[in-house]
Amino acid sequence: MEDTDTRPQATEGAATAGLPQDADSILALAARSMFHLFSSISQGMFLVDRTGRIVWVNEGYKRFLPALGFSSVEQFVGHMVEEVIPNTQMRQVLETGEAYLIDLLTNRAGTFVVSRIPLRGGDDEIIGAIGIVLFDHPENTLKPLISKFARMQRDLDDARRELATQRVIQGAGQRPSKYTFANFVGASPAAVEVKRQARRAAQSSSPVLLLGETGTGKELLAHAVHAASARARGPLVSVNIAAVPDTLLEAEFFGVVPGAYTGAERKGRDGKFKLADGGTLFLDEIGDMPQSLQAKLLRALQEGEIEPLGSNKLVPFDARVIAATSCDLATLVREGRFREDLYYRLNVLPIRVPPLRERRADIPALVEALGEDIGLRNGAPLPEVTPEALALLSAQTWRGNIRELRNVLEQAAMRSDSPRIDAPQLEVVLREAGIEKIAPVAAMQPVPGHEAAAAAGDGASPLRPLAQQIEELERQAISAALAASGGNKLAAARLLGISRATLYDRLNLIV
């Protein structure tokens, strides 16, 4: 191209000294100024003519050219858009005249959030289209949005599961346990140990405290403990403390006597302690319990009696309590946000539910079990996951644990139109979900039966920022120490030769 000015030439002589008064001139100026605004705030922009030929790229777009295989603008401009930008949808925009305001585009240059807008001439005919790269690396720039989406997806999954259970209850007239130990997939030493502890807890009637990161299976285990306990025929009643407003929690827990309130509560209602009579009360997210209620819960657990709102009579209850949290309760106690006496009351049978990265050997079995379930829901079996893809899964950090693994598999299944999910496809899903690798695949413990595949993974270069490598190493060392100490943070800190406070600091950074 001879033209070195990268801006498209203005077609109208709008450059007048005075401010334009008529709508058409203002509009023409607005169009130009919007164009320049987009050109400067976006990551890159290009134009195609009505035949789909690239006619112009702006300064910003030039930086994507090497990744697309071009060393200069001259080589790039003049080609049909689909020849030079794999997976582009610009052709559809030209054909339908419809804009894609926001879309994700993935090709060999990476994943991008893009806009595609048709351009129309004076007679409203399509004269070309404009492609805008709004963000590159959306996995970083859009992280808050993506994590919010992941949270919403998680709530949706939970709500669906709850609904499915409600239907079963209505059908059977009684609340069954959703899960048993058979549903807890895993034969790794860490999984076997957690099941052993949970089975032992099922034999007792003392409170159980399930501690573990989000998505590790705490709720599943609570159900399994109930189902394996002497109370299995009784009800299992769950309260998600984080989901109930503080002001309503007391009534939710202890109930309200008739006449205590006017309005909807006039008739009174039973609290969860009463509803769980003869069965199990599952207090989920116990770390979110307000202080005022902590005192009342402690009293209830100590005395075996509750006091419904509006009554001054104590009523005995008979429910076994299982509590769960993904908070670090010991830290909350240290910081004075959780009562120490309640902590010890609940901490009679603590069970630490290990994160997925401490039981990578379970990943192939989990993929199979989750895949079967996803297949049942979607009405089509999950495509086969290749050994390389499995090795890639085994190399991830999995901060969201099994729930996150499940989401990734669902995404991969949705996008795959082949009978296999392979490593490159999975890489795209992982990148877009903002999931980061903990270690290069090649350096990972091989997945049993897939040693060759693990060895074939992409090695991470030592020529990366030192801080990143140190962080990875720290993360691995802390995970290993926690695994070796059975989750005891004091012992883990000793093993690592650091103070417990430093360990907590690091945990906050990496969990």
Ligand X SMILES: Nc1ncnc2c1ncn2[C@@H]1O[C@H](COP(=O)(O)OP(=O)(O)OP(=O)(O)O)[C@@H](O)[C@H]1O
Task: Identify any residues that bridge with 57 across adjacent strands, giving them in sequence order.
Answer: 46
Decide if residue 218 touches ligand X (CB under 6 A).
yes
> How much of the chain is helix, strand and coil, in % rounded to 5?
50, 15, 35
| Structure tokens that stand for 288 in this block | 């979110």
From residue 111, alpha-carbon distances to 375, 431, 438 in Å are 27, 8, 21
| Structure tokens that stand for 78 in this block | 């003049």
Q: Identify what 479 binds: ligand X, Mg ion, none; CB under 5 to 8 Å per kind.
A: none
Decide if residue 219 touches ligand X (CB under 6 A).
yes
Binds ligand X (CB under 6 A): choice among 42, 229, 326, 411: 326
Decide if residue 184 touches ligand X (CB under 6 A).
yes
Decide if residue 404 touches Mg ion (CB under 5 A).
no
Site string for ligand X, 351-370 (x = CB under 6 A): ---------------x--x-
Binds ligand X (CB under 6 A): choice among 274, 345, 399, 403: 403
The count of C-alpha atoms lying within 13 angstroms of the C-alpha of 334, restricted to the half-sphere facing its C-beta, is 8
Contacts of 28 (CB under 8 A, 6+ apart): 12, 14
Decide if residue 136 touches Mg ion (CB under 5 A).
no
| Structure tokens that stand for 380 in this block | 């089509």
DSSP labels for 379-438? TSPPPEEPHHHHHHHHTB--TTHHHHHHHHHHHHHHH--SSEE-HHHHHHHHHHTT--BS
CB 1 within 8 A of CB 47: no
Q: Minimum Å distance from CB 77 to ligand X?
A: 50
From residue 102, alpha-carbon distances to 49, 64, 113, 150, 431 in Å are 21, 19, 7, 19, 18
The one-letter code for the residue type at 408 is: V
Nearer CB in complex with Mg ion: 113/227: 227
Q: Minimum Å distance from CB 401 to ligand X?
A: 7
Q: Minimum Å distance from CB 226 to Mg ion?
A: 14
Nearer CB in complex with ligand X: 218/345: 218
Q: Minimum Å distance from CB 466 to ligand X?
A: 33
The one-letter code for the residue type at 273 is: F
Task: Let me know how long the chain is.
Answer: 511
Residues 211-240 that bind Mg ion (CB under 5 A): 219
Task: Identify any residues that bridge with 437 across adjacent strands, giving them in sequence order.
Answer: 396
Nearest residue to Mg ion, by Cβ distance, number only: 219
Q: Minimum Å distance from CB 53 to ligand X?
A: 50
| Structure tokens that stand for 99 in this block | 């804009």
Nearer CB in complex with Mg ion: 111/240: 240
Nearer CB in complex with ligand X: 223/274: 223
Nearer CB in complex with Mg ion: 219/288: 219
Decide if residue 212 touches ligand X (CB under 6 A).
yes
Q: Minimum Å distance from CB 384 to ligand X?
A: 19
Nearest residue to ligand X, by Cβ distance, number only: 217
Decide if residue 388 touches Mg ion (CB under 5 A).
no
Decide if residue 80 touches ligand X (CB under 6 A).
no
Decide if residue 288 touches Mg ion (CB under 5 A).
no
Residues in contact with ligand X by the rule CB under 6 A: 183-186, 212, 214-220, 326, 366, 369, 402-403, 406
Residues in contact with Mg ion by the rule CB under 5 A: 219
